[in-house]
Structure 1
């Protein structure tokens, strides 16, 4: 892959100038307009002294100008740094200290949080002023291996690290997706559900543009608005985390909604409840498990439609160019059915971590990305995710996977959400704790009785918290176990063991 993103946008502007590239909150923008507008942004950045390799941040919520600024930054030869708009001043300053942006675009609600950031701060609304004007000629920096995005990980388990994407990795991801899953094609329509600043949101924005698709983006996720778009636009693709599909399925309108036009519905980031898959199957939509991570450049595997009907718990076996291995601690391939760490190799895998050579070296072994995720594979190589390696609980020398316990508790009537974490224990080193959201009066003894009937004794939680408040989540929709672990770090003194 020797192309660059700027050339791809220019191609689509010539090939299908009037086709919709982005529809933001109902406002369509054609490929021709995106091309000319982003060229003007790139030229303006260069006039402001931005040079190839400089970092330019965006610290704002979803907006059309966010999308245009992102492509303009890349066209200028600079590196786009999406910043988590939920960050407070100290958090965004920490990330800025790592990547040292020259310019940060922000919105009115967040400008006050950038006082400790050593960068020129510009209103994101300035991008709108460049929407119209004379066309400009931009000489793009033709270096397929140049870094174009630094996507900081969500930090659900550790300090965020900057994942580097290049022209080559993002275009390779589009190429392989088109071959693996033909629904990814010119003119296809898809919702970009994750917030734009997230790795998933940025990757999808680039992905849809590279493929000549139409990206539908909203200021924020809204169930009823999402249903409107799915129905009115006859969306072919719906991807995200299970939480979003659960919220949609809970809408009173879901039962009568015509959704059979959805050709690909794939979710990842958490285990998909069987009941959720059944609910969507009744609408003619096969919800498939996918596997992906920011460091992998996007989705590295999606279960086939046919396979998902027989094995809804599996997430596939990779793609044409992307391979997976399930390995033991010595780096040897595990036999089918034995759990091990997923290693990934492919053209879309990250270049490395920004400003972190040691972390980059630790993430790779002989060209394979060590994901930190644990799975079992069958004879055909189809994987089933077991858990995060870092989330494994070691209690009295026994390995315990939280997802196994979450699946059991999650099947109970009255359980709205559940997260299982490990917490300190004087006797066993670590022990199991379950935090449950229930709005129907679920009682702790019911939970223990159910777990005793379905789990080995050492897996049954010794601490249980039942609450009506939603569990903490990241902007991506994933549960924030890091926040729960911090909240209950002193469970031994805060709570009473239930068994």
Structure 2
């Protein structure tokens, strides 16, 4: 096991023994620089070997990892830094300029490579099970991202639960991770499959042909992605003859799996298994059993030995099978809290139950079908976009009085932001997009803008009402010009 490959980045890899020793040298270096247990350490960088090992080094030193979205603007990064107060922020060369104006000490992540070799140090710090280990930013219905906090206990509890309930992958399995490490999908899979003793393969970015080539050449055993990823890979001409017989588990989340997509992959002997989850529950809350996913691909699975699932009405009462209500989850992987935000924490954590803000329905067999988001999220290429955050940026542009951001269909990303704005004057749309580019990561910036010259519809309580605009612009991708 010590000599087994832990991390494989194609042209570079490390064994588990090298992984441990390198991370402990990083821990010693951080402690020497003044890191104290509980200090936050930000990382703003693309996926890399150094990023992975730095995460483990921070944990070994007693710090709290703060993954920062590499696509965020300096404005967005400053908001996160103000909320979390990191002692250090590491960045790669392409993002170093984004963090230079922040109060935290900035370090280039290439420094981590200088610690790759040397003697194994003695680290006095001994982590405790309930120590906080990571703050993962998540987009929700609020205008600013919230920081989801996990401990050693909650993260290892999540892994142990899945290791017992789902044994398709384990020690020695080869897993590919297409997600950025700053997302819950990337970070949780790194910790999950490292604890299991798998070999983790990474790509710097998702490119369908390279992804398929890696699946074949590395004989990958498992991976998870959003449906648009599976669709992109299956449309490649080389997909038909690709040998994918090594794959034992493929999970899909973020949008429903259609029967047509399921049938395409089943011809290759692979059953796509829908999951339901969110950052706050540690990742996957449910996973569809393989034999049931063959004929019911849109369903997301059921509760298990340790993860419980329920559906409640607006008064918090359980509802019978076949009734739509809010999904609630209870399990060892649930988050501890939102960082520095007790008010939002109290809204979603009630006793041992996580109130997800999502609508779903359980059938007579306990199988979950996801219906819709009570929270106002747009999922674009697997990335969560808070509509409220985009609206906040748009509303700071002169002349715009009201704004609602909704999802428009997108052939590549599944969904993309559409800004519907009310204005009583002419708006320079290119200037608006330029304004948004300065305040938002590129994937959040609206691809469509619809100008309304009458006030936007509102609910009886005075809130902007989106259903009418969703219906009006349901064919936005065909009817409106793309503005970027």
TM-score by length of 2: 0.80
Tell me, in whole angstroms, the C-alpha distance in 2 between the residues paired with 1:293 and 1:202: 13
Tell me, in whole angstroms, the C-alpha distance in 1 between the residues paired with 2:250 and 2:55: 27
Identify the match of residue 180 of structure 1 among 147, 161, 165. Answer: 165
Task: Report whether the alignment pairs 1:346 with 2:331.
Answer: yes
Task: Report whether the alignment pairs 1:435 with 2:408.
Answer: yes
- Please state how far the C-alpha of 1:484 moved relative to its aligned partner: 5.2
- Please state how far the C-alpha of 1:140 moved relative to its aligned partner: 3.4
Q: Which residue in 2 is equivalent to 1:236?
A: 221
Contact 1:192/1:215, CA 8 A, preserved across alignment: yes
Q: Which residue in 2 is equivalent to 1:163?
A: 148
Tell me, in whole angstroms, the C-alpha distance in 2 between the residues paired with 1:283 and 1:253: 12
Q: Which residue in 1 is equivalent to 2:9?
A: 24
Alignment of 1:46-125 (within 5 A): 46-125=31-110
Q: Which residue in 1 is equivalent to 2:348?
A: 363
- Please state how far the C-alpha of 1:227 moved relative to its aligned partner: 1.1
Identify the match of residue 137 of structure 1 among 116, 122, 140. Answer: 122
Tell me, in whole angstroms, the C-alpha distance in 2 between the residues paired with 1:269 and 1:309: 19
- Please state how far the C-alpha of 1:257 moved relative to its aligned partner: 0.8
Question: In structure 2, the residue corresponding to 1:178 is in which secondary structure?
Answer: helix
Tell me, in whole angstroms, the C-alpha distance in 2 between the residues paired with 1:212 and 1:497: 51
Tell me, in whole angstroms, the C-alpha distance in 1 between the residues paired with 2:473 and 2:26: 60
Task: Report whether the alignment pairs 1:291 with 2:258.
Answer: no
Q: Which residue in 1 is equivalent to 2:362?
A: 377
Alignment CA distance shift 1:35-1:498 (3 Å): closer
Tell me, in whole angstroms, the C-alpha distance in 2 between the residues paired with 1:431 and 1:91: 20
- Please state how far the C-alpha of 1:319 moved relative to its aligned partner: 2.5
Q: Which residue in 2 is equivalent to 1:266?
A: 251
Moved more, 51-60 or 21-30: 21-30
Tell me, in whole angstroms, the C-alpha distance in 1 between the residues paired with 2:179 and 2:84: 23
- Please state how far the C-alpha of 1:236 moved relative to its aligned partner: 1.4
- Please state how far the C-alpha of 1:35 moved relative to its aligned partner: 0.3
Contact 1:21/1:209, CA 8 A, preserved across alignment: yes
Tell me, in whole angstroms, the C-alpha distance in 2 between the residues paired with 1:498 and 1:226: 34
- Please state how far the C-alpha of 1:199 moved relative to its aligned partner: 1.2
Q: Which residue in 2 is equivalent to 1:43?
A: 28
Contact 2:44/2:69, CA 8 A, preserved across alignment: yes
Q: Which residue in 1 is equivalent to 2:400?
A: none
Contact 2:262/2:294, CA 8 A, preserved across alignment: no
Alignment length (residue pairs): 414
Q: Which residue in 1 is equivalent to 2:234?
A: 249
Q: C-alpha deviations, 1:415-455, integer Å up to 9, x for none?
A: xxxx9x999xxxxxx9998734479xxxxxxxxxxxxxxxx
- Please state how far the C-alpha of 1:221 moved relative to its aligned partner: 1.3
Structure 2 residue runs of 5 or longer lacking an equivalent are 380-384, 392-402, 413-441, 457-468, 475-484
- Please state how far the C-alpha of 1:25 moved relative to its aligned partner: 2.9
Tell me, in whole angstroms, the C-alpha distance in 2 between the residues paired with 1:328 and 1:127: 50
Contact 2:358/2:372, CA 8 A, preserved across alignment: yes
Identify the match of residue 211 of structure 1 among 196, 200, 205. Answer: 196
Q: C-alpha deviations, 1:180-225, integer Å up to 9, x for none?
A: 1102311111111111111110111111111111111111112122
Structure 1 residue runs of 5 or longer lacking an equivalent are 1-15, 393-401, 404-418, 424-429, 440-478
Q: C-alpha deviations, 1:130-151, integer Å up to 9, x for none?
A: 0001111113323101110000
Tell me, in whole angstroms, the C-alpha distance in 2 between the residues paired with 1:227 and 1:260: 13
Tell me, in whole angstroms, the C-alpha distance in 1 between the residues paired with 2:472 and 2:331: 46
The RMSD of aligned alpha carbons is: 3.0
Alignment CA distance shift 1:379-1:156 (3 Å): same
